Amino acid sequence: MTNQYVPLLFMTGIGAAFALLSVLLLPYVGPRRYNRAKADAYECGIEPTPQALGGGKVPIKYYLTAMLFIIFDIESVFLYPFAVAFSKLGLFALVEMVLFILTVFVAYAYVWRRGGLEWD
């Protein structure tokens, strides 16, 4: 008993195959004719305004914020088990943890003074 939707599957397959074949085959079939203006942004024929690398679409500051968050989040991840087991740990652990926080604080001070925390 043939399913009545099999032809639809065939059509989808043919369509997808055509699209994929066109896209994957074209760089090999077509000629390479490069000129500098082709790689420029289209700005109705005038020289395009200089943009940041990658076109300036996603501002770099989002990446920086995320990276700083990860670093200080990992620091707090280390603080949680220390806090939970503090009563069983002795002075050695306290001193060690203070040294750890101081080390990360140096990094924090560097980011702060270099302006990494400024949004604009």
Partner 1 sequence: MGIEDKVPAGILLTTVEYVAGYSRMHSVWPATFGLACCAIEMMAAGSPDYDVSRFGMEYFQATPRTADLMVVAGRVSQKMAPVLRQVYDQMSEPKWVISMGVCASSGGMFNNYAILQGVDHIVPVDIYLPGCPPRPEMFLNACVALHEQIQATPLGVNRVTAARAAEAAALAEMPTHQMKGLLA
**Contacts with partner 1, residue ranges (CB under 8 A):** 27-33, 35-38, 40, 42, 44-47
How far apart are alpha carbons 14 and 18 in whole angstroms? 6
Nearer to partner 1, 19 or 94 (CB): 19
Residue closer to partner 1 (CB basis): 34 or 62: 34
How many whole angstroms separate alpha carbon 87 and alpha carbon 77? Answer: 18
Task: Give me the least distance between CB of 41 and partner 1, in Å please.
Answer: 9
Instruction: Judge whether 71 and 64 are in contact, CB under 8 Å.
Output: no
Which is closer to partner 1, CB of 6 or CB of 37? 37
